[in-house]
Structure 1
Amino acid sequence: MAEATPGYELPLRLFAAFRSIIDEVHAELAREGHPDIRPMHGFVFQAIGIDGTTAVELGARLGVSKQAAGKTIANLEKGGYVERGTDARDARRKIVRLTGKGVEVLDRSARLFETIQTRWAEAIGEDRLAALHADLRTLTPGELFQLDTPGWFGADR
């Protein structure tokens, strides 16, 4: 009979798998001309969404301060990934939107995740990967996109 794995190893292995995938995607994005994109930016792009959002709303969605969100927006704006504008329904509201370059990074990331998943299926078998997906869905019910992860990792929690 196999020896039991210590409980503390489970979150470490899950995080190591997450980190491995994210690091690989970002290394490839850097090779493809996006060296300034960081893991948190994926959460930011998802939180901005297709309709855009304000800095206040972005901070709330990410679980960070308005100032932290504003700094991230400024950096992404310099890189050409987002743009600021006014809300067509309310000119007082300043909206942040993804540019074509930002959407391109999201699309490319999605394809890279698919490539990694295919490679993992080849390594452990499609059935085992499908079972892993099913098991994780069972064990982690609820919202798939935890956009507040950057704030959750923050020191002020």
Structure 2
Amino acid sequence: MVSSDPPGFELPLRLFLGFRTLVDELHAELGRQGHPDLRPMHGFVMQAIGTRGTTAAELGRRLGVSKQAAGKTIDTLEGLGYVERGTDPGDARRKIVRLSERGVDSLVRSARIFDDLRARWAATIGEDRLHALEADLRTLTPPDYFPLDVPGWFGGYQ
């Protein structure tokens, strides 16, 4: 008997395609709102930097990449105006990278755009179905776990 179920490999691909669709639409809108140089990986990096800043070594650990790879990305984001380097007020030997005003602006805009994209998905499939999908994904995934190590997990980093 032939199963009418889709093959197992389709599930992760569809989940990834949903993620990719949202992120591509986010970046298209960010570009229209004044952030055309941001790339998907930059969002992971800025989230890993956080509101208090971090060192290149710690950023590398959070992203699952080398300190050198993290440093190259910091250089790129600094050149684009999204981060600033400085010293740690508690330890002048430590060099800290922090989000600039432009970096914070991009994250605030991203949050709003994601809300708009979610609303579009709800309008397409219905709020009840979207709530059910989100609840099911919460059931199937670890609670309060949002890894930022996608660069290292995928096995490479630019």
- TM-score in terms of structure 1 length: 0.95
- Aligned twin of 2:31: 30
Comparing 32-41 with 130-139, greater Cα deviation is found at 32-41
- Aligned twin of 1:89: 90
- Aligned twin of 1:78: 79
> Does 2:134 align with 1:133?
yes
- Aligned twin of 1:108: 109
How far the C-alpha of 1:26 sits from its partner, in A, is: 0.5
- Aligned twin of 2:9: 8
How far the C-alpha of 1:141 sits from its partner, in A, is: 1.4
Question: Matched residues in 1 for 2:64 and 2:143: separation?
Answer: 18
Question: Matched residues in 2 for 1:57 and 1:70: separation?
Answer: 11
- Aligned twin of 1:152: 153
How far the C-alpha of 1:155 sits from its partner, in A, is: 4.3
Identity of aligned residues (%): 69
Question: Matched residues in 2 for 1:81 and 1:116: separation?
Answer: 24
Q: Deviations over 1:14-46 (max 9, x none)?
A: 000000000000011112221110101111111
Question: Matched residues in 2 for 1:145 and 1:36: separation?
Answer: 24
State the AA in 2 paired with 1:42.
G
Q: Deviations over 1:49-73 (max 9, x none)?
A: 0000000000000001111100000
User: Unaligned stretches of 5+ in structure 1?
Assistant: none
How far the C-alpha of 1:142 sits from its partner, in A, is: 3.7
State the AA in 1 paired with 2:81.
G
Question: Matched residues in 2 for 1:116 and 1:92: separation?
Answer: 43
How far the C-alpha of 1:135 sits from its partner, in A, is: 0.2
Q: Deviations over 1:95-142 (max 9, x none)?
A: 000001000000000000000000100111111000000000011114
| Aligned-residue CA RMSD (Å) | 1.3
Runs of 4+ more than 3 Å apart: none
- The number of residue pairs the alignment matches comes to 155
Aligned residue for 1:78, secondary structure, equals helix
- TM-score in terms of structure 2 length: 0.95
Residues 92 and 40 of structure 1: CA distance in aligned 2, closer, same or farther (over 3 Å): same
Question: Matched residues in 2 for 1:107 and 1:154: separation?
Answer: 29
